[in-house]
Structure 1
């Protein structure tokens, strides 16, 4: 029997929601965080029902040649990072769903691969900030249903969807966003036959490949979100491609195939499964995959985020609707 998101919500509330129902203070147990310096209203922060590092970030992941990987389904989504002069790297959502942050580096360049399932935000950031290399963890807290990260060096809080420090000594500091894109495992292998892929993490006992958010992206409302609905009749959990403060609906891109606007070309292709649909990620419905390039053909940093999150973090943003 297909397990619905409503069932998941019941289980989640039973496991961790009791603490939320008792009004847990999300700022508790952070003695080294400077709460006197913040760019947000702390009343917007709420516990996600898990403690700090209850969702464990991965440091220095094992990587293997893509040609050696036998456990991924062709339609499974991966987050691709392809820095010039290095082998392209794939980070499967089957792992990111359970860990949300991967602290990695290549050629001495440190970066973080991040994924927030509740708002479908998958972003890559440089980890060097003001001359210091930071390592990120999952705080267990949410704002507008988006993961709040923290850095282990100063215990500042960072909003994942916007890549900006919100509490602590780094409040107001912006992380440098790097190009990365979601695509199917099959697409990655075809484009990068000499690429490498994150291997299954060891020692965590997670059910990799299983989707703990069954039916989430077809549910009626985001988990732990109390903000406004998006405008223009757009469903809160509709996927949109965000570039800066502009958003294009995936529905429009799938219909038109390619759109050239605002200095970028966005292309859509079928073949990538939703990680937030079926009990097994590989069985998720096809939501397609996009690529964003500028006029010079270079990949552009972007995000494929749920519409409610775009509206929450960019309330004055521009919706690039069909003409």
Structure 2
């Protein structure tokens, strides 16, 4: 499995520890004198800067025109003043970041396959609108993003600046969720679906075949989660709390800690078989507060929650 992953990402050289002197030629504007993390924790994932190309201002088509399998996962984003939008994982797997404008809100829709982390951020920071790209670096097996305006580096799993001018700055997280295309289409018959990018990619293929069945995450150097939880088990993160997906699948609905989490079957794993649409059914979730409003959350692997929220609360049986 790992060999297939390496081949898919065209990793020619072994990962090396981050060295500001080495990477300054890639990021000449980055202020490497300011950082909140040890550089030894940042490694190369293989591709260099923009080797995984982020997308900007994508085109959209009517939901009725989208030729997606009903079980294929999409990131759903519903913002007042705009038609609901679906961002297919088949595209985000190859691009990881989409910079878009939805209902007057500049957003970055992100997906880190290695952490299964799909988060949508507000791109406004200190009165400026940032746009994001992929550094090609990893920290704790999670994507490190950068903004093109200051070339600061950002940790995708938490939306925080870790290197450069914006070190310590947090991006606002917006409510979005991963669900099967069929669920989005049924709820939003007039919704919009991101159109296929005009780039040479085998969209629909999963270059991480078998990854979510692995014993250990790719290039992860941290500790395993507590309580005997499988590092690759999916959890739902709300703030600094984590609900195991297996518990939600068994219960169907859980209401606690001020939120209600609903689980339904019908979504294919994007990290299982060679074709995303053929992945095993892992189910999907929706998180709402007491007023029925969608709550920002993430569906990530357990190792990633433990890595970035070591003091987080595990919502076990």
Q: Deviations over 1:265-323 (max 9, x none)?
A: 0000000000000100000000001000000000000000000000000001000001x
Match of 2:11, SS state, is helix
Would the alpha carbon gap of residues 224 and 17 (structure 1) be closer, same or farther in structure 2, given more than 3 Å must change? farther
In structure 2, what is the equivalent of residue 235 of structure 1? 230
Structure 1: stretches of 5+ with no match in the other structure = none
1:104 aligned onto 2:132: no
Match of 2:15, SS state, is helix
**1:125 aligns with one of 106, 121, 125:** 121
CA contact (8 A) 2:18 2:41 kept: no
Q: TM-score, normalised by structure 1?
A: 0.95
In structure 1, what is the equivalent of residue 314 of structure 2? 319
Shift in Å, 1:12: 5.4
Q: Deviations over 1:168-207 (max 9, x none)?
A: 11000000000000000000000100100000000x2010
Q: TM-score, normalised by structure 2?
A: 0.96
RMSD: 1.3
Q: Distance in 1 between matches of 2:5 and 2:189?
A: 40
Equivalent positions of 1:1-323 (< 5 A) are 5-9=1-5, 11=7, 15-20=10-15, 25=19, 28=23, 29=25, 30-69=27-66, 71-202=67-198, 204-322=199-317
Shift in Å, 1:10: 5.2
CA contact (8 A) 1:25 1:47 kept: no
Structure 2: stretches of 5+ with no match in the other structure = none
Residue-pair matches, total: 314
Q: Distance in 2 between matches of 1:310 and 1:283?
A: 27
Shift in Å, 1:35: 1.1
CA contact (8 A) 2:2 2:218 kept: no
Q: Deviations over 1:102-131 (max 9, x none)?
A: 000023321110000000000000011100
